[in-house]
Structure 1
Amino acid sequence: MRRIRYDHPGGPLFLEDAPVPEPAPGELLVRCEAVGVTLPVVRKVTEAAEPVALGGEIAGEVVAVGEGADRFRPGDRVTGLCFGHGYADYAPLLEHMASPVPDGASAVDAVALVRSGLVAYGALEAARPAAGEAALITAAASGVGHLAVQLARLRGASRVVGTVSDPGKADFVRSLGADEVVLYSDTGWGEGVDYALDAVGADLLGPVVAALAPGGRLVAYSSGGGTIQAYDLLAGAKSVTGFQIARISREQPGLYEEWRKELWALFAQGSLRPAVHAQYPLAQAGKAHHAITIRANLGKVVLVP
């Protein structure tokens, strides 16, 4: 089979031949039809001290099951988060991380909707939104952000502000339901919002906190780091909550499954529309990473082996 690897931090990414893996106990072997490209994986290539397996969101057909795996059988279509080599024709998937892809949905739909949607849904839950409140979504054109904009509107937000890196993304974000779209470089944007979902971190945390109304809530789910001054919270009785979807999947699997079912229900109703920026063949994984690195994507970037 084909697999993507790199030899040193920063890449480049290239194809190699590798044996088809055998599923370990508790694993499924999936023939990958779609692989979602995420910012955390892109960052690993440049930031990890040593080369790591490029895992991530995969979707496809189960071709073999390991000992003890009994929820799925060969021929089933599944999606889930792969912790091994996921940029490949075949990838191992822990059965407890797998969920079914419903009839009528494609593998590309699955990687665009499920994991990114779970992050967006969970971050929104952590914000405890009430109908009629104003929301701020950073990275509003990203794989997670474009779903968060739609979900905030579905949860009754009276005003949704989306932030983007490029003015060329404004029409896309407005088409999702945002009332206002502002650039990171603007000042005084989104003032008076009741809650904010932040996927950027770093230097953007200060402006996000400043945009909160008194009593406002920030949910941070970025891997970009950053610092918030305690006084900026105290002055307006504001709060910050960190959110990590991996913790929900590990410690509250029932809730994780409930959210997943709700996402598919919204998708089936046409209320939630995952957008795919581009589909790249496996050999062009480097181009897919570059699209995210330069923040060019409108929605999800997908590899199609």
Structure 2
Amino acid sequence: MRLTRAAHVTLPHAPGGDVAGRVEAVGHGVSGWEVGDRVVALAFGGAYAEFVTVPAAFAAPVPDGVDDEAAVVLVRCGQVALGVLRAARLEAGESVLVTAAAGGVGHLAVQLARVLGASRVVAAIGVSVPAKAEALRSVGADEVVTYADLAADGVEPVDVVADGTGGDVQAAALAALAPFGRLVAFSATTPRVDVDQLRLNARIVIGFAMAHYAGGRPEVYARHRAELWELYRDGRLRPLVDSVRPLEKAGDAHRALESRENIGRVLLRVS
């Protein structure tokens, strides 16, 4: 399967996203699913609806002991967070900086860095909000800094950066890398990188895209999914849900995201 990204969106448009529910119908040639099965999946369009069609390759059964809210958070955000840290080849005892740390991927990356043996985890957020700092420390962050702090004062050098912000924040995070450090960019527009500076500072920049990971390495994707379910059931991974809003309030949900008010995921419930 070859995936492409549209250059523009034609309105009216129903966004895609992570969805959870029950199987209502199974397409021709699809095996392993029955009507009524609990399912969590990625929908590349039309997710804001009562019914949605999803590719079987991006669908997973929800095991017992995992509620819909946790499943929706883990199906993509958990996969991205774990995939990014594995792409960085994080080793026990190393230090990690996570940008967009209060978001869906970021708060899980903070926890997973700790699970994978990080000795120090720094969480970077856009604005100084005591509730965000408290929440991030509760899930494993040793330090919480703002983007302004990161740009002005920097942080003690780190071995790995998980960057979901891009732009000037990424440039500041890159400057925080210790020699032999790795920055993994997984979201947002990224600035130009000076290869000579990478060479002189012995730094590495890695690009990470979930579509290639899921489509090109399905066995790893499945293994990571099982690992995430297990970590959740063991209590070592705690998905944070900021709020669950009715579909009719989708506009309010987007405004909350744009204002950076949320701590963890903002979810919509279709009644």
TM range, smaller chain: over 0.9
Tell me what 2:8 maps to.
48
Contact 1:136 1:190 in 2 (8 A): no
Contact 1:182 1:189 in 2 (8 A): no
Deviation at 1:190, TM superposition (A): 2.4
Question: Per the alignment, in what secondary structure is the counterpart of residue 172 of structure 2?
Answer: helix
The 5-angstrom pairing of residues 101-116 of structure 1 reads 101-116=62-77
Distance in 2, matches of 1:163 and 1:205, equals 11
Deviation at 1:179, TM superposition (A): 0.6
Please list the CA deviations of residues 211-269 of structure 1 after superposition, one character each: whole Å capped at 9, or x if unmatched. Answer: 00111110010123322222331221101000011101111111100000000000010
Tell me what 2:178 maps to.
213
Distance 1:93 1:49, change over 3 A: closer
Contact 1:202 1:227 in 2 (8 A): no
Q: Which 10-residue stretch deviates more, 257-266 or 60-69? A: 60-69
Is 1:279–2:244 an aligned residue pair? yes
Distance 1:49 1:76, change over 3 A: closer
Contact 1:191 1:210 in 2 (8 A): no
Tell me what 1:133 maps to.
94
Distance in 1, matches of 2:27 and 2:9, equals 32
Question: Per the alignment, in what secondary structure is the counterpart of residue 92 of structure 1?
Answer: coil
Tell me what 2:110 maps to.
149
Size of the aligned set, in residue pairs, is: 260
Deviation at 1:124, TM superposition (A): 0.3
Distance in 2, matches of 1:222 and 1:295, equals 16
Is 1:227–2:192 an aligned residue pair? yes
Q: Which amino acid aligns with 2:105?
A: V
The 5-angstrom pairing of residues 1-305 of structure 1 reads 48-51=8-11, 52-168=13-129, 169-186=132-149, 187-305=152-270
Distance 1:232 1:294, change over 3 A: farther
Moved over 3 A (4+): none
Distance in 2, matches of 1:218 and 1:239, equals 6
Deviation at 1:188, TM superposition (A): 2.8
Tell me what 1:36 maps to.
none
Distance in 2, matches of 1:70 and 1:122, equals 27
Tell me what 1:27 maps to.
none
Tell me what 1:5 maps to.
none
Identity of aligned residues (%): 47
Deviation at 1:203, TM superposition (A): 1.2
Q: Which 10-residue stretch deviates more, 77-86 or 254-263? A: 77-86
Distance in 1, matches of 2:188 and 2:248, equals 27
In the superposition, the TM-score normalised over structure 1's length comes to: 0.82
Question: Per the alignment, in what secondary structure is the counterpart of residue 122 of structure 2?
Answer: strand
Deviation at 1:75, TM superposition (A): 0.8
Question: Per the alignment, in what secondary structure is the counterpart of residue 230 of structure 2?
Answer: helix
Deviation at 1:49, TM superposition (A): 4.7
Give me the CA root mean square deviation.
1.4
Question: Per the alignment, in what secondary structure is the counterpart of residue 248 of structure 1?
Answer: helix
Gaps spanning 5+ residues in structure 2: where?
Answer: 1-5
Comparing both structures, which one devotes a greater share of its residues to strand?
1
Distance in 1, matches of 2:120 and 2:108, equals 16
Deviation at 1:84, TM superposition (A): 2.9
Contact 2:170 2:190 in 1 (8 A): no
